Amino acid sequence: MKFIEVKNVVFAYDAAEEGEEPKTVLKDISFEIEKGSFVALLGHNGSGKSTLAKMFNGILEPESGDIVVNGLNTKEESTILDVRKSVGLVLQNPDNQLVASIVEEDVAFGPENLGIPPEQIRQRVDSALKSVDMYEFRAHAPHKLSGGQKQRVAIAGIIAMEPECIVLDEPTAMLDPQGRKEVMDTVIKLNREKKITIILITHYMDEAVQADRVIVLDDGRIIRDGAPKKVFSEVEFLKCHSLDVPQATELAYRLSSSGMKIEGTPLNETECISAVIKALS
Ligand code: ADP
């Protein structure tokens, strides 16, 4: 079942200077996102990923074309609150997303704004903190947490609003490897166990391979859309568009280029090792 429909979306930002042309950053984009899926959105800087992310919960509106979320057009003012409730947005810097001085108050902020009754808020906050494994930190001060912990609290704040979809715009860019792993484990768990639709914008290809589907944007257009194995098999093509491939895929590609008979497209170390052992035997 489709959850988000992107139909012929065109978007331009106003020109910075008078007399300049407006800058078209999304150029007739169309695709659909299935309910419960985990989609990675890739593309080099400036390709239009964040602009698109802001359309999924109606922060930005298409100039032409439509974004339909759960059957609701984001251009329809009377239902925009329902769109915002069903699609949560997590941004890069957790410090900009945490507003209260105690973790549980921070997580309560979103549902309070939605007008949820207090007794339900308590239950939502506890459950959201448990689902990101931060319940034991509920009485802590957010600014004393690690980057990964802060980002998980920010995600809990979104979960407490009970969205059906979470869009994460480079949520791990400012985190150390441990923090990145914590956030990715949380995102995968929310997708698999709570069936929350995930749209993840990332520059880390080892994160993208964990998605069911990878969409690659380049200069406001979709240039690839498919399963990670299929998209990452085109190593040269991706490099031409200033994109990396996962490290294991790169190693396998180089071994293959130097004559080793590597089968398929290994996406992680285990798959790469198996392919090498097979090639040597
Ligand atoms: P990405 O997330 O892929 O890096 P963005 O969607 O942030 O891409 O940006 C796409 C293009 O739009 C870039 O060229 C960027 O400079 C421009 N842009 C982004 N935000 C604004 C804005 N608020 N005003 C004008 N131009 C913008």
Residue type, 68: V
pLDDT in tens, 132-155: 899 999 999 999 999 999 999 999
Closest ligand 1 atom to the C-alpha of 51? 6
DSSP annotation of 266 reads -
Mean pLDDT by 10 residues, the chain (281 residues): 97 85 93 98 95 94 96 96 92 87 94 90 94 94 93 93 94 86 91 95 94 96 96 94 92 92 92 92 85
Q: What is the pLDDT of residue 281?
A: 85
pLDDT in tens, 62-101: 999 999 999 999 999 999 999 999 999 998 888 888 889 9
Q: How far is the CA of 23 from the centre of ligand 1 (A)?
A: 9
Q: What is the CATH number of domain 2-245?
A: 3.40.50.300
Give the integer Cα–Cα distance in Å for 147 and 143: 9
CA-based nearest residue to 50, from 237, 220, 224, 226 = 220
13: left (phi over 0), alpha (psi -120 to 50) or beta: beta
**Residue appearing with tokens 């001060």:** 141
Q: How far is the CA of 16 from the centre of ligand 1 (A)?
A: 12
Q: What is the pLDDT of residue 51?
A: 96
Q: How far is the CA of 158 from the centre of ligand 1 (A)?
A: 24
- Select from 11, 24, 25, 167 the residue to mutate for testing ligand 1; criterion: most ligand atoms less than 8 Å from CB: 25
Q: What is the pLDDT of residue 135?
A: 96
Q: How far is the CA of 45 from the centre of ligand 1 (A)?
A: 8
Q: What is the pLDDT of residue 163?
A: 93
C-alpha angle 34/35/41, rounded to 5°? Answer: 55
C-alpha angle 262/268/269, rounded to 5°? Answer: 80
DSSP annotation of 136 reads G
Asked if 9 and 66 count as a contact pair (C-beta separation under 8 A), the reply is yes
Q: How far is the CA of 62 from the centre of ligand 1 (A)?
A: 14
Domain regions of the chain by residue span: 2-245, 246-281
Q: How much is the CA Rg of the chain, to the nearest whole Å?
A: 20
Closest ligand 1 atom to the C-alpha of 201? 2
Q: What is the pLDDT of residue 226?
A: 97
**Residue appearing with tokens 């690659």:** 216
In this structure, which residue's CA is closest to atom 24 in ligand 1?
A: 13
Residue type, 146: S
State the pTM of this model: 0.93
By DSSP bridging, strand 87-90 and strand 2-13 are unpaired
Alpha-helical regions (H) of the chain: 49-56, 80-86, 103-113, 118-131, 147-159, 177-194, 205-208, 228-231, 235-240, 247-257, 269-280
Asked if 9 and 55 count as a contact pair (C-beta separation under 8 A), the reply is yes
CA-based nearest residue to 90, from 76, 107, 104 = 107
Q: How far is the CA of 238 from the centre of ligand 1 (A)?
A: 21
In this structure, which residue's CA is closest to atom 21 in ligand 1?
A: 13
Q: Which residues line ligand 1 (CB under 6 A)?
A: 13, 23, 25, 43, 45-51
Give the integer Cα–Cα distance in Å for 131 and 190: 8
